[in-house]
Amino acid sequence: MTTATRAEQARRLAERLAADEPLLVEMRRHLHAHPELSGRETATTAWIGQHLRDLGLAPQRLDSGTGLVCDIALGDVGRGTPTVALRADIDALAMPDEKDVGYRSQVDGVAHACGHDVHITAVLGAARLLAAEARTSEVAGTVRLVFEPAEETVPGGAVEVIREGWLDGVSAIFGLHCDPKVDVGSIGCRVGAITSAADQVEIRVSGPGGHTARPAQTVDLVDVLARLVTDLPPALDALAGHENAFLLVFGAVHTGDAANVIPSHGFLRGSLRTPDIELWRRAPELLERAVESVLEGSDAVWSLQHGRGVPPVINDERMTALLVEAVGEALSPDAVVATEQSYGGDSFAWYLERVPGTYARLGVHDPRSSSPRRDLHASTFDIDERAIGTGALVLATVALDALAALHH
């Protein structure tokens, strides 16, 4: 596309977005008030599907019954025209929503505290913009919308999307994730790894049990579990060859009930993360050796369950450059900000193992606010709702730009 064509495209998209923004805010608030857990997103899937059908599109539900995929044909689509994908995840977290707002969760113990409601609305907003461009678009190709279920589970709903063949024929994929560390109106971009590998770990221990008056006559499982919590992370790093090779953090420790009884069973559950994909591949063997070394001589019987999660999200250089250019067109060149690799994991990684693409961070913090920045998964997490339109505009622009670039 010429510079003039791009400028005209940006003007049309911005005008349409301005008309759509009140609706997008309303849509996001509906989703926020009606969250559903991973694999149970039945109402969410139906709601998304209806909005797509209202645009004259034909969404297809995934075989599991939740999540869907929908194509938008742009311009003179024919054999050999490219396909690019835009992805949103649709599930919520098992946690309370403790905000005092009219759109707080109406489902006890379930909340959109990771911003997936925003991701859905941004992709639907992009769909509205692209559908309006479809017949007159100077760019020919297909934009595939992927509404992925169960992202918060391991290994994530991306595996189902790929297994059903929805990435076949896709030449590029793009996604945005809310980031409360970034101000609204900005997009955090990074070439290479932007997230870390993330696995789940469970260690079970057992012994004969006994009386707390005579711990030397049995296996003190409370002490054993405490040693694992404190000594296992540095032991794992030592085997990897350097500090901070892994981030091993336990979120659950269970054993015993009585103050004067040494228990006979206990377990730990936690997450194992690493920014290094090669160390992730070696993690099962290293973790086994580390547990063995920490518990040597304890006489505890132990078992290890290592649930493989996701690799790091590794952004493609060319697709990141396309996104940076699109942000400049849709917002301004100053809207692009650098962002660091995080220890968070995301199933978007599975897409990027098969298709070049990029995953960016959508700024959602209101810089005018005096309230503290609430991190993802906080019970009072919320966003500056101007971010919804920003996300929709950037995704629509990068989809069109990528289709144009892939023709060459």
316: left (phi over 0), alpha (psi -120 to 50) or beta: beta
CATH level 2 (architecture), domain 197-310: 2-Layer Sandwich (3.30)
Q: Is 105 left (phi over 0), alpha (psi -120 to 50) or beta?
A: beta
Delimiting residues of CATH 3.30.70.360 domain(s) in the chain: 197-310
**Annotated catalytic residue, options 133, 148, 151, 160:** 151
Structure letter (DSSP) for residue 374: P
Question: How many CB atoms neighbour CB 2 within 10 A?
Answer: 8
Q: What is the pLDDT of residue 278?
A: 94
271 CB-near residues (< 8 Å, 6+ apart): 198, 199, 200, 201, 247, 248, 249, 251, 309
Q: Which residues of the chain have pLDDT under 50?
A: none
Instruction: Answer for the pair 121, 34: CB distance below 8 angstroms, yes or no.
Output: no
- The reported pLDDT for the residue numbered 80 is 83
372 secondary structure, DSSP code: P
Our answer to whether residue 340 is catalytic in this structure is: no
Whether residue 216 contacts residue 274, with contact meaning beta carbons closer than 8 Å, is answered with: no
Is 211 buried (19+), middle (13-18) or exposed (0-12) by CB count in 10 A?
exposed
Taking alpha carbons only, the member of 387, 351, 25 closest to residue 187 is 387
Give the pLDDT confidence score for residue 200 in this predicted structure: 94
List, for residues 187-238, the tens digit of each pLDDT value: 999 999 999 999 999 999 999 999 999 999 999 999 999 999 999 999 999 9
pLDDT at residue 371, as a whole number: 79
Q: Which of 21, 41, 91, 199 is catalytic?
A: 91
HSE of 321, CA atoms in CB hemisphere, 13 A: 3
Domain at 3-193+312-406: CATH code: 3.40.630.10
Question: What is the per-residue pLDDT for 341?
Answer: 96
Per residue in 184-196, pLDDT (tens digit) is 999 999 999 999 9
For the chain, give every residue range classified as CATH 3.40.630.10. Answer: 3-193+312-406
Q: Is 91 an annotated catalytic residue? A: yes
